[in-house]
Structure 1
């Protein structure tokens, strides 16, 4: 098992775990084989479904890989808001000739069962989204040799991860596609511009913690990876960049939309899941985003049937088209080739800046995240 972040892969490139089908064994294996760190997304899967994907991935690669878990969410308090949204969506169900989903689903995403499997049959890396695990959970993973990463969207969340015993933190800028990995969903922050851009957030986190930092949010090119490494990150995590690859499990409509000029920009919305998530603005988001309650994962389950029906009908206007702000830079390359191209671009950017040394993580070079940050918290 790895003892340091830079031992995990050849290049400082992490493929983001994209729940909902985007990040499966084929994509993770291709990224790992090319020298990056591939991830499986266990969110929305059963514990057994997660385990079957782990077994499949192990049959495809012998390289280190990661598994991402969703933290349990608070029980829904305002059922009336969800029922009001159900009425709002009645026309969608009629249009797509389906029923709206059942909101009486568990809010823990099978967390404890997944933890048990990952402790019993350890994987190299486990990361967490939507909160920070307890020290007992992180210590248990440390005892079996699993490297742990916690997603954070503020310096305070990063400090909480360090205090709880995480080995590294993944800082997610507001540019990132998909769900914002905030530890606490605060509806009062909606539309206030409270989310920080990646470089500003990275600077704050590097002064707040001493553990290695992975940077995520809108990264699509090797030069951008060079920028976040120069700003103090040890590695860079890319999601949307890998979404368009053949190995991605994303719906073809979703892949095509990334570079379709019909979809001009992204916004944060609660329309599809009840939690802020960045996606391409389409009809569903425009019509329902203003009315969606802060009720995750109830809204996710409520809209799931409509989204599936829209996909079956070939209608991208009814899908959750998660994408980061850099989506127009997506390239339809095989995942392994994309890793190679990103690494070459990173080398070229470093050379242009007059920086020496290889981009390879395991070359003995001390990365920015391997030394304590000036002024970092104990």
Structure 2
């Protein structure tokens, strides 16, 4: 089953699934209703919580949508580094007057239970982050009519997705906000990711699967660029983070264009896995020595991040954002889809005219 996004949406615009509450049902519904492809993020949710959001989304739109799953992570064998990091975070715990979280929380994110629900009550599209599902899982989804999309950050990961039978790959450039969807977390490769256009070229030569391009895309002209490079559609996260329908805190939305936060960096400070966010105090102070320990660090810092948000302190929050964050527009999601498609059409006309 080859994946043609044109079968699922009128426009080649995909709203990225943003775990942690950034992409609630109302956002996915607004995007799908406007002609794009909305996505729910099941990461960090219980299986029941995921299903409740699917039911809510179905009550808001009859259009196609997708659900994103986190692949289970390998058990962490060395918890000593997590213990050291925990000690280094005691000052934050005292400052925000909240205890640190439990890093021993289960690491499979309810994967099997979520698979069971999605196979019992199928959705149009399921995507995977942090790894590639087994061929058996992909075949199971194919039997119920669900298409599968695997996030990749290298040509090698794309080959693995193709070998596993995936219908398409989401090619994620290093410019992307939030977590890098690498299949294997290798600390030696920190800060060495590949830019989106170069990665599209590499993946196109490696596999014959349709490509969805993701990473730093904020304008219709950029969408035109990745489509010309060989992608079938473009996935945008930070662009939709600023919309009223987004579940991000207003502090996070405002920070995207705040001169106090002019740049982004990849960091392990908040979750233990490389993720791109706006550079704030917490990232600067703790990023240099945060261990490669996901999701242990995520659960360890979770109460701190919640306390910072409650205190209206963006300097202690995980302000995930792509490199194009300064171009964020606080438009309603449906209007943003229309504006992006208008910009895409104009860029195509300019290209055709040789402008």
User: How far 1:59 sits from its partner (Å)?
Assistant: 0.2
Provide closer, same or farther for how the CA distance between residues 36 and 2 of structure 1 changes in structure 2, counting only shifts above 3 A: farther
What residue in structure 1 maps to residue 183 of structure 2?
183
Distance 1:54 1:15 in 2: 16
User: What CA distance in whole angstroms lies between the structure 2 residues aligned with 1:67 and 1:309?
Assistant: 29
- The corresponding residue for 1:74 is 74
Describe the shift of the 1:31–1:167 C-alpha distance in structure 2 as closer, same or farther (beyond 3 A).
same
Residue in structure 1 matched with residue 223 of structure 2 by the alignment? 225
SS across alignment from 2:234: strand
Matched, 1:161 2:181: no
Aligned partners of 1:245 and 1:332 also within 8 Å: yes
Specify the alignment match of 2:315 in structure 1. Answer: 317
Aligned match of 1:334: 332
1:80-133, CA deviations, whole angstroms, 9 ceiling, x for partnerless residues? 100000000000000000000001111000000000000000000000000000
Offset at residue 5 of structure 1 (A): 2.5
Partner of residue 86, structure 1: 86
1:269 maps to what in 2?
A: 267
Alignment of 1:9-88 (within 5 A): 9-88=9-88
1:15 touches 1:242 (CA, 8 Å); kept in 2? yes
What is the rounded CA distance, in whole Å, between the counterparts of 2:206 and 2:2 in structure 1?
24
Q: Distance in 2 between matches of 1:355 and 1:232?
A: 20
Question: Offset of 1:4 from its aligned partner?
Answer: 2.9
Does the aligned pair in 2 maintain the 1:2–1:124 contact within 8 Å? no
Q: Distance in 2 between matches of 1:355 and 1:172?
A: 30
1:353 counterpart SS class: helix
CA distance, structure 2, for counterparts of residue 158 and residue 65 of structure 1: 23
Task: Please name the residue that 1:353 is paired with.
Answer: 351
In structure 2, which of residues 183, 189, 199 is the aligned counterpart of residue 201 of structure 1?
199
Say whether the 8 Å CA contact 2:72–2:108 is kept in structure 1. yes
1:2 and 1:146 in contact (8 A); partners too: no
Q: CA deviation at 1:3?
A: 6.2
Mapping 1:133-148, distance limit 5 Å = 133-148=133-148
1:371 — aligned with what? none
> 1:296-307 maps to which residues of 2 (within 5 A)?
296-307=294-305
Name the SS of the counterpart of 1:343 in structure 2.
helix
Instruction: Give the drift of 1:142.
Output: 0.3
Instruction: List per-residue Cα deviations over 1:168-196 (Å, max 9, x = no partner).
Output: 000000000000000000011124xx210
Q: Distance in 2 between matches of 1:49 and 1:355?
A: 50
Q: Which structure 2 residues correspond to residues 211-222 of structure 1 after superposition, within 5 A?
A: 211-222=209-220
CA contact (8 A) 2:268 2:290 kept: yes
- Of 254, 257, 260, which residue of structure 1 is paired with 2:255? 257
Contact 2:40 2:67 in 1 (8 A): yes
Q: Residue 107 of structure 1: SS of its match in structure 2?
A: coil
Aligned CA distance change for structure 1 residues 2 and 174 (closer, same or farther; 3 Å)? closer
The equivalent residue for 2:236 is 238
SS of the equivalent of 1:109 reads coil
Cα distance per residue 1:187-218 (max 9 Å; x no partner): 11124xx2100000000001111110000000
TM-score using structure 1 length: 0.92
SS in 1 for 2:55: helix
User: Is the 1:64–1:124 contact (alpha carbons within 8 Å) kept by the matching residues of 2?
Assistant: yes
What is the rounded CA distance, in whole Å, between the counterparts of 2:300 and 2:270 in structure 1?
Answer: 8
Does the 8 Å CA contact 1:126/1:146 hold for their aligned counterparts?
A: yes
Matched-pair contact (CA < 8 Å) for 1:2–1:8:
no
Could you say which residue in structure 2 is the equivalent of 1:96?
A: 96
Aligned partners of 2:267 and 2:109: how far apart in 1?
21
Give the Cα–Cα distance (whole angstroms) in 2 for the partners of residues 148 and 3 of structure 1.
Answer: 8
